[in-house]
Amino acid sequence: MPRWIDAKLVKTTERSDTTRSFFLELQGIESFEFKAGQFITLDLPIGEKRLDRWRSYSIANEPNQSNLIELVIVKVPFGKATTYLWEKCQIGDVFKLKGPGGVFCLPEKIEHDLVFICTGTGVAPFRSMIKDIHRQGKQTKNIHLIFGTRNRNGILYAEEFKKLQNELENFDYSVALSREEYEGYQGYVHNLYLEKYKEEDKNRRFYLCGWQNMVDEAKEKLLARGYEKAQIIEELYG
């Protein structure tokens, strides 16, 4: 596959007031090969220098032998990239795309309990991983996805994860809302996993994805509980 290829925008879906899925069809190939958890980089027409133009986003769908990928992106106030994506680009527009990249992936053989902790669009690589496990019928230990956001409107892929809870053995799904009353867990995401996993266990791996301050805080809290650095795998979003 060439280093840069054309990707055509074929569909968008509103996920919340500030979050949207962008579906890109990669041109000239039948199947885009990547590992669940990896990201791609878009070259957007928003500046002259590459640091102005390039934006990286995790792939939100599972590897499925197609040339279609989904990116779930939150609109950043005054952000050049998301202002362009929300206000200027149209269905049929073509971008340059590079990838896949990144090593935020699961091992081929899963031998530990997995705890996925994320906020907002940090759920994207975990959705890819979980759907890949489900599609392949992989044998796993326990998997717990813990998703944090401010209010009910910000919950992403809720119905899909609830359905997977019924279909995928050993998969559990929790939501923490920090700013709104909720029939589930009300509070910050940190409180939820610290209560659930307060006893250190060598057979557990924590995967963290989201904004840097959330990831840094989670890592610090887990280390303070006695977990080792090797048990904590992180991906940063800004």
- The confidence score (pLDDT) of residue 93 equals 98
For the packed helices 158-167 and 124-136, what is the interaxial angle rounded to 10 degrees? 30
Q: Are 196 and 168 in contact (CB under 8 A)?
A: no
- The confidence score (pLDDT) of residue 181 equals 76
| Residue 139 counted as domain residue | yes
Mean pLDDT value of segment 11-37: 97
Q: Which of 101, 122, 138 is the last residue of a domain?
A: 101
- Residues 161, 92, single domain; the answer is no
- Residues 152, 224, single domain; the answer is yes
CA distance 16 to 158: 12
pLDDT tens, position by position, 166-185: 999 899 999 999 887 777 77
Domains contained in the chain, number: 2
- Residues 93, 156, single domain; the answer is no
Ramachandran region, residue 96 (left: φ > 0; alpha: ψ -120 to 50; beta: rest): beta
pLDDT at 237 over 70: no
CATH number at residue 31: 2.40.30.10
- The confidence score (pLDDT) of residue 135 equals 95
pLDDT at 131 over 80: yes
DSSP per-residue codes, 35-98: -TT-EEEEE-SS-SSHHHHEEEEE--SPP-SSSEEEEEEEPPTT-HHHHHHHHT--TT-EEEEE
Mean pLDDT value of segment 65-75: 97
- Residues 128, 50, single domain; the answer is no
Using pLDDT thresholds of 50, 70 and 90, give the confidence band for residue 78: very high
Q: Which of 69, 101, 133 is the last residue of a domain?
A: 101
pLDDT at 238 over 60: no
pLDDT at 15 over 60: yes
Using pLDDT thresholds of 50, 70 and 90, give the confidence band for residue 41: very high
- 119 or 181, higher pLDDT: 119
- Residues 223, 126, single domain; the answer is yes
pTM across the whole model: 0.95
> What are the residues whose beta carbons fall under 8 Å from the beta carbon of 8, sequence distance 6 or more?
24, 25, 27, 92, 93, 94
- The confidence score (pLDDT) of residue 3 equals 82
Print the domain residue range for 81. 4-101
- The confidence score (pLDDT) of residue 122 equals 96
CATH number at residue 222: 3.40.50.80
| Residue 65 counted as domain residue | yes
pLDDT at 49 over 60: yes
Mean pLDDT value of segment 39-46: 96
pLDDT at 204 over 70: yes
- Residues 178, 117, single domain; the answer is yes
pLDDT tens, position by position, 132-150: 999 999 989 999 999 999 8
| Residue 221 counted as domain residue | yes
pLDDT at 1 over 70: no
Q: Which of 101, 123, 144 is the last residue of a domain?
A: 101
Using pLDDT thresholds of 50, 70 and 90, give the confidence band for residue 94: very high
